[in-house]
């Protein structure tokens, strides 16, 4: 009995071939296993073949993800025994594995007394760098940045032994043959950090700026040097440190301990400097995920600030020379190594909500994982979706899978735009992608849109909020023929079909098309882009709309209120917008949380959410509704008449907004026009708001984001699905 067995999925670079080898030998089978362009291929024969087929998909190694096991008869020749054969040529039909945090076995070696004791590049097939070092497929050492490091005899023996956990671990290394680490500065890295200094540390996907998280002076120094006044700083600590300084649920521990090792937003525990995340109730924590991180945190003995090594707004630095030039002016030393970072990757950022995990930034450890396309997309063409202007990410579809790329940043920045163009070429080459159609946002001013339209390919233009709706539908596997869905899409700004700026919408649609059923009452964006940065402008126009001009003047004394009103009256640089994000900004300014200027995107809304969390359950503020228009003016009127604590007002705002939108969406399901409600858009990252929506929606089926960002980081997935659906 002989079979040809094809295993598809995340099956290269994870110890899958030695697993197959071990299983086949255990069952007394003959044959061979190899990597090729489509995954893992097995030719196998013997009496235990059926048992082998039954077990090969369900007992896979920890980092493997098996999508399919395809079995067919085979009549070729089989040699005696079972062997691991050479890879079967180049190609790109299989997945590249995301980088994985140091496994317990490797950590024991680092802290032991063997030949890898204290070695900062210890790894095996269950952990270590993958996507950040690979140059091409199949995944072999010669196609990684480890190609420059020849294996010593001891590493070679492990690499060639199918019974060793380092069999074909492409980054395998030891102190005798692998990369080296060194410190550039006075003394050592731990000493500089303990004395209040800042060190640039080279990690997996780029450099971090590191200081002592318990030292308020060091935190303030880092903020001054990086010119980052308030944006929350990520922290790294051991499990003991995290347990001390944060309140951690079981689900949050599970997320922290995943091989992806993301930053997880955790409720504050024992006090750390307020300067780590001013005005926030949570801090972003991650566990050490490389041997170098483990060694550094062991030496310092304190939690570390671990924030991206870059100038504000620019991409993370990845090269040694680049780091010296870019970061030299505001660090006190460099912890360097000589393994090249092929691919820049920020840390992923996630949180756990009552409805499950939520990815806020999809990056290291999560990419380049793929998502299966929903039923009905089997015949879809290869699509390249360009994403948006903010939180840019691209998406490629091929062979029933969608590959959503990593977080790149804001394309207004020249260096980020350069990184975006590099990633575009990189993903297309690495995955042998030949797009038949390109999907872009409606906004002609977006650099991503302009780039897509210049590709000499058929173009599908996808409205911003329709893409958000399709993204959450696709993540949840909503079939192409599954019927229309009511989408509550709340975000900052997106160009609408009517030429105005949308951002607070109830849509009724499927993958191909949609209608706008309800929306926030539009308000001017005085000063255009300035309104996105200066919350007081949004408060002024909303209070004026509510007939509360005198209250606006009292609250905004000292601001150029008259000048802005004149510009709005004349229609000068004051486009209308239904943005929910700008409404959050207005309420945050009303409560004095963030008035003059946001120092980072989303600051006003994040402070408002943190404030509202303190209040518990409250009655909603009233929102008006006239046909399709949801009007916040009654909410501001009741707020202005009251004298409530800021946390109560913040919570009542959340409840009122939720009640109005949930009622519109729920009615679409209850009248049979929609099959479910879908929640998307950047505002949906607000866990308090999402939980309130779930309460108000009751027993209505709801589609939520979990692994795809609700913000513009997930936009490209929705664009790709809309474009594909229109072609089928």
Q: Which domains does the chain have, with CATH numbers?
A: 2-84 (3.30.70.100), 181-349 (3.90.870.40), 368-476+707-727 (3.30.420.360), 518-703 (3.30.420.40)
Q: For residue 26, what is the enclosing H or E element?
A: helix 16-26
Task: Give yes or no for a contact between 269 and 247, defined as CB atoms under 8 angstroms apart.
Answer: yes
Q: Is the dihedral of CA 604, 606, 611, 615 positive or negative?
A: positive
**Which residues, at least 6 apart from 372, have a Cβ–Cβ distance to it below 8 Å?**
67, 400, 401, 402, 477
Read off the pLDDT of each residue in 709-719 and give the average, rounded to a whole number: 98
Which of 3, 30, 32, 35 is catalytic? The answer is 35
pLDDT, position 430:
85
Mean pLDDT of the chain: 95
d(CA 442, CA 445): 9
Task: Give yes or no for a contact between 346 and 262, defined as CB atoms under 8 angstroms apart.
Answer: no
pLDDT band for position 91 (cuts 50, 70, 90): low
33 Ramachandran zone, left/alpha/beta (phi>0; psi -120 to 50): beta
Cα distance between the two ends of the chain = 41
List the structure tokens of 475. 């993540």
89 Ramachandran zone, left/alpha/beta (phi>0; psi -120 to 50): left
Q: Are strands 207-212 and 624-626 parallel, antiparallel or unpaired?
A: unpaired
pLDDT band for position 10 (cuts 50, 70, 90): confident
List the structure tokens of 38. 């489509």
Write the pLDDT tens digit of every residue in 212-231.
Answer: 999 999 999 999 999 899 99
d(CA 54, CA 70): 11
Q: Does residue 576 surpass a pLDDT of 80? A: yes
Q: Does residue 93 surpass a pLDDT of 90? A: no
pLDDT, position 138:
72
Read off the pLDDT of each residue in 141-160 and give the average, rounded to a whole number: 96
Phi/psi of residue 644, nearest 5 degrees: -90, 155
Write the pLDDT tens digit of every residue in 38-61.
Answer: 899 999 999 999 999 999 999 999
Known catalytic residue: 17?
Answer: yes
Q: Does residue 137 surpass a pLDDT of 90? A: no
Task: Give yes or no for a contact between 220 and 275, defined as CB atoms under 8 angstroms apart.
Answer: yes
Distances (CA, A) of 708 to 257, 290, 680: 20, 25, 10
pLDDT exceeding 70 applies to what percent of the chain? 99
pLDDT, position 36:
87
Q: Does residue 136 surpass a pLDDT of 70? A: yes
Task: Give yes or no for a contact between 280 and 368, defined as CB atoms under 8 angstroms apart.
Answer: no
User: Which residues in 621-717 belong to E strands, given as ranges?
Assistant: 624-626, 629-631, 677-680, 702-703
pLDDT band for position 313 (cuts 50, 70, 90): confident
Write the pLDDT tens digit of every residue in 409-428.
Answer: 999 999 999 999 999 999 99
Write the pLDDT tens digit of every residue in 462-496.
Answer: 999 999 999 999 999 999 999 999 999 999 999 99
pLDDT exceeding 90 applies to what percent of the chain? 91
Q: Does residue 497 surpass a pLDDT of 90? A: yes
Write the pLDDT tens digit of every residue in 666-678.
Answer: 999 999 999 999 9
Write the pLDDT tens digit of every residue in 230-253.
Answer: 999 999 999 999 999 999 999 999
Which of 3, 17, 166, 351 is catalytic? The answer is 17
Largest CA distance in the chain: 91
pLDDT, position 4:
96
């Amino acid at each position: 009995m002989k079979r040809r067995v094809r295993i598809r999925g995340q099956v290269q670079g994870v110890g899958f071939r030695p697993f197959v080898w071990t299983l086949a030998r255990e069952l007394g089978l003959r044959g061979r296993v190899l990597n090729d362009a489509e995954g893992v291929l097995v030719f196998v024969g013997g009496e235990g073949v059926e048992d082998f087929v039954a077990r090969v998909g369900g007992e896979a190694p920890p980092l493997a993800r098996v999508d399919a096991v395809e079995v067919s008869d085979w009549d070729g020749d089989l040699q005696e025994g079972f062997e691991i054969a050479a890879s079967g040529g180049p190609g790109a039909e299989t997945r590249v594995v995301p980088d994985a945090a140091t496994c317990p076995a490797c950590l024991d070696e680092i802290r032991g007394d063997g030949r890898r004791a204290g070695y900062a590049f210890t790894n095996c097939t269950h952990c270590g760098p993958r996507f950040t070092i690979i140059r091409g497929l199949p995944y072999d050492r010669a196609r990684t940045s480890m190609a420059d490091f020849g294996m010593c005899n001891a590493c070679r023996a492990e690499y060639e032994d199918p019974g060793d956990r380092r069999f074909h671990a492409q980054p395998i290394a030891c102190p005798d043959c692998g990369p080296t680490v060194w410190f550039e500065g006075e003394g050592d890295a731990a000493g500089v950090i303990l004395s209040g200094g800042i060190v640039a540390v080279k990690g997996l996907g780029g450099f971090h700026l590191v200081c002592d998280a318990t030292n308020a002076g060091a935190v303030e120094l880092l903020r001054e040097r990086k010119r980052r006044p308030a944006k929350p700083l990520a922290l790294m600590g051991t499990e003991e440190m995290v347990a001390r300084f944060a309140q951690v649920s079981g689900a949050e521990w599970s997320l922290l301990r995943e091989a992806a090792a993301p930053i997880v937003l955790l409720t504050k525990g024992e006090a750390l400097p307020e300067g780590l995340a001013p005005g926030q109730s949570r801090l972003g924590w991650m566990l050490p995920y490389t041997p170098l991180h483990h060694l550094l945190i062991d030496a310092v003995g304190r939690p570390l600030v671990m924030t991206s090594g870059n100038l504000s707004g620019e991409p993370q630095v990845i090269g040694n020379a680049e780091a010296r030039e870019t970061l030299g002016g505001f660090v006190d030393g460099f912890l360097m190594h000589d393994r090249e970072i092929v691919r820049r990757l920020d840390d992923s950022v996630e949180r756990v909500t009552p409805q499950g995990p939520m990815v806020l930034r999809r990056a290291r450890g999560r990419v380049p994982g793929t998502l299966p396309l929903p039923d009905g997309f089997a015949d879809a063409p290869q699509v390249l979706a360009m994403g948006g202007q903010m939180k840019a990410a691209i998406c490629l579809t091929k062979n029933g899978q969608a590959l959503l790329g990593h977080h790149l940043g804001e394309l207004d920045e020249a260096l980020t735009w350069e990184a975006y163009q590099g990633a575009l070429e990189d993903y297309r080459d690495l995955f042998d992608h030949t797009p038949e159609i390109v999907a872009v946002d409606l906004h002609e001013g977006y650099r991503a849109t302009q780039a897509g339209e210049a590709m000499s390919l058929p173009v599908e233009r996808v409205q911003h909020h329709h893409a958000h709706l399709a993204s959450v539908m696709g993540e949840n596997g909503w079939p192409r023929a599954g019927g229309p869905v009511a989408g509550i899409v709340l975000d900052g700004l997106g160009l609408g079909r009517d030429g105005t700026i949308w951002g607070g919408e109830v849509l009724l649609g499927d993958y191909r098309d949609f209608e706008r059923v309800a929306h926030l009452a539009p308000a001017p964006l005085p000063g255009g882009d300035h309104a996105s940065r200066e919350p007081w402008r949004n408060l002024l126009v909303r209070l004026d709309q509510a007939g509360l001009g005198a209250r606006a003047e009292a609250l905004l004394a000292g601001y150029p209120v008259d000048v802005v009103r004149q510009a709005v009256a004349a229609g000068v640089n004051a486009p209308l917008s239904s943005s929910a994000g700008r409404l959050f900004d207005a309420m945050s300014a009303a409560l004095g949380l963030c008035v003059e200027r946001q120092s980072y995107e989303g600051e006003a809304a994040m402070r408002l959410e943190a404030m509202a969390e303190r209040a518990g359950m409250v009655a909603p503020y009233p929102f008006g509704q006239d046909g399709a228009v949801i009007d916040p003016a009654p909410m501001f009127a009741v707020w202005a008449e009251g004298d409530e604590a800021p946390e109560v007002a913040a919570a009542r705002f959340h409840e009122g907004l939720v009640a109005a939108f949930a009622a519109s969406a729920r009615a679409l399901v209850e009248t049979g026009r929609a099959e479910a409600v879908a929640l998307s858009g950047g505002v949906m990252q607000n866990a308090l708001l999402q939980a309130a929506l779930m309460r108000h929606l009751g027993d209505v089926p709801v589609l939520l984001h979990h692994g795809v960002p609700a913000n513009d980081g997930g936009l490209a997935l929705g664009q790709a699905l809309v474009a594909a659906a229109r072609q089928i």
